[in-house]
Structure 1
């Protein structure tokens, strides 16, 4: 079935709806006063010298565009802001319902689009700014979410697969997009499982994998991922002095190894442990 052709109105509303609601309202105010200023003085309809009729027609056209645009554009931006508010409410409700669901199969009841909305909302709870790159029936270019945090960008691919393992090709494709877009790193999140090959490949790339089991646990916690208790001892460190995780972009914390050859030694560990196991020497 052919996709229904969208109008320019639909496209603009969709773009604004993907932004924070206050951005749409700000654009509405700015566009109104900006275009209104162009309509204060109507252009002359009488040519001062012969041959200016063409210039007068062009000036009249711009005047009419500004006159109607001062009402039309703010209305479109306001509609986009309202859609953004409604979608925000939907995402919040979805996150609340799934994170508090007693049934561990709550993820399986979601559509693929709801799964993406859920993941986006979860990252917002972790302090990321989230941009959803695609909607229903729209191509996403291999990336479902774009995350921003501390001036760094991360790409997210969501795979709502219930039975099939996510293979290495998905991880490899995301790594290619990360390289092209010069992003800091990425995440692949699934409601199912990852193959062993995919996990090995991700360990060598700037990509964090979160499978269905990990995701359910993180959702149940319903708190920022930085509050996850690490297995190793954490020593409080000022956020200003703590480095950024080179793999996922979270703040690192100072830890002390409790066992192994390095027992008793301090090191930097990712605050997202055990989801991210990146470390850095001091």
Structure 2
């Protein structure tokens, strides 16, 4: 129970700051006014109701104290993402900063993101993404010189199956071995490496803290895949009821199977 309560309090530092404020106000109102007005039959519950107005202040403070922490964390992560210039700046990050960077990128892509603060580097699931009823598991590998091998991909595929997730995303600042890439083919496994990480970050940057002239490669304005960061290219469906219709497909197909309708 203590561990669960601790996890809830950690979660409050990740959600938007105003959620803590709303929870604080709601808890105070319920404990201060609603609970004491209920006519409980049990003497135990009557005792709890009598103490509720006093408890209300403490519970409200517990929720409220996380609001500034959440605001600070959100601001720090936004600045962290917007100041990344290239793969070199990304590789200079610590493993924890790298995880926070990827979390913020997918958050800006419209995903609900839960960060795992209980596991150290290379400990398994680092992020849980949710969007449109689908859950994706993310592992971040801040490996500057080594390639991520197939063993890591196999392990995450097993975790994905056990957790009944829609897919798994493995992000590395380095590269994947060819064997790892081959294993991911025809599976809901999305491998995001090196330049794709840069594309992912640039696609969601809003307030740049550096001049575009500082980087060798100009910031791209092309359509980018929201899953792996690869460039979207126009294709024509060859089979099925949509045969002959144009659509946007990920350039990393078949590793990444993301597509969206062409509206041109």
1:228 aligned onto 2:222: yes
- CA separation in 2, counterparts of 1:140 and 1:222? 25
Give the structure 2 partner of residue 88 of structure 1: 74
- Over 3 Å counting, the alpha-carbon distance change for 1:148 and 1:116 in structure 2 is same
Give the structure 1 partner of residue 63 of structure 2: 77
Query: Cα offset for 1:169?
Result: 1.5
- 1:171-207 deviation per Cα after TM superposition (whole angstroms, max 9, x unaligned): 1111112212221112100011101111011113101
- CA separation in 2, counterparts of 1:249 and 1:189? 8
Give the structure 1 partner of residue 171 of structure 2: 189
Aligned length: 237
Structure 2 gaps of 5+ residues are 207-220, 238-242
TM-score by length of 2: 0.74
Give the structure 1 partner of residue 217 of structure 2: none
User: 1:12, 1:76 within 8 Å by CA — same for their partners in 2?
Assistant: no
Structure index of larger Rg: 1
Query: Cα offset for 1:31?
Result: 0.8
User: 1:207, 1:248 within 8 Å by CA — same for their partners in 2?
Assistant: no
Give the structure 2 partner of residue 238 of structure 1: none
Give the structure 2 partner of residue 17 of structure 1: 13
RMSD: 3.8
Structure 1 gaps of 5+ residues are 1-5, 44-54, 231-244, 259-263
1:149 aligned onto 2:149: no
Give the structure 1 partner of residue 195 of structure 2: 213
Give the structure 2 partner of residue 162 of structure 1: 144
User: 1:21, 1:84 within 8 Å by CA — same for their partners in 2?
Assistant: yes
- Over 3 Å counting, the alpha-carbon distance change for 1:139 and 1:211 in structure 2 is closer
TM-score by length of 1: 0.70
Query: Cα offset for 1:218?
Result: 3.2
